[in-house]
Structure 1
Amino acid sequence: MNQSILFPELQSYCELTEHIEFPAQTNGQLIYCVLGRDKLHHISQEQSENEAQLLALFEQYRFDIEELAEQLIENEQFAEDGKIYI
């Protein structure tokens, strides 16, 4: 794992968009990463019923999710809003 990209243990779920958003830090820059509910279910091969279960799944698969985000950041695949969408 690239040590120049740090992932603080912060995340939040937006029920409206059904996304989990979590930050990454690289070279002093804060980057927001977004993981959709469907993508989380695909990664985990599990379903969730509510926010608490989604966040628990996120924690369980955090390492894999961070690796995906890291690859997108390193390849500079930023969306127009500056976020990384997984």
Structure 2
Amino acid sequence: MNQAIQFIDRLEFREPAHQLVFFAQVNGMLVECVIAVSSLGLTDESHATSYFEKNRFDYEERAEQLIEDESYNSAGQIEVSLIS
């Protein structure tokens, strides 16, 4: 694991966009890691949180690789694809 990348214990469910957002600290800067979850049919924040917790390590691993590859979108976020 890259010591310059640390995932913090913070998760947001952004309702209108149906996004789960978790956060990484990269060299002291906060980076949003975004998962578009509209296709999963998660109905509220508790369902979204439960889903994320079951897959946390896989999502963090994917996000870490994207951060290392500097695959930021135009908003400075990391877009992480769904776990199948």
Match of 1:66 among 43, 49, 60: 60
- Give 1 or 2: higher strand fraction: 2
Give the superposition deviation at 1:19: 0.3
Q: Which runs of 5+ in 2 are unaligned?
A: none
Length-normalised TM-score, structure 1? 0.83
RMSD across aligned C-alpha pairs, in angstroms? Answer: 1.6
* Letter aligned with residue 49 of structure 2: L
Moved over 4 A (4+): none
Say which SS state the counterpart of residue 8 (structure 1) adopts: strand
| Bigger mean CA offset, 58-67 vs 1-10 | 1-10
* Matching of residues 38-49 of structure 1 within 5 Å: 38=38, 41=40, 48-49=42-43
Between the two proteins, the alignment pairs up a number of residues equal to 80
1:23 — aligned with what?
Answer: 23
CA deviations on 1:14-67 (whole Å, 9 max, x unpaired) are 11000011110011111111011157x5xxxxx644331121010111000000
Sequence identity of aligned pairs in percent?
Answer: 39
Give the structure 2 partner of residue 7 of structure 1.
Answer: 7
Task: Give the TM-score of the pair, scaled to structure 2.
Answer: 0.84
For structure 1, the residue ranges without an aligned partner over 5 or more in a row are: 42-46
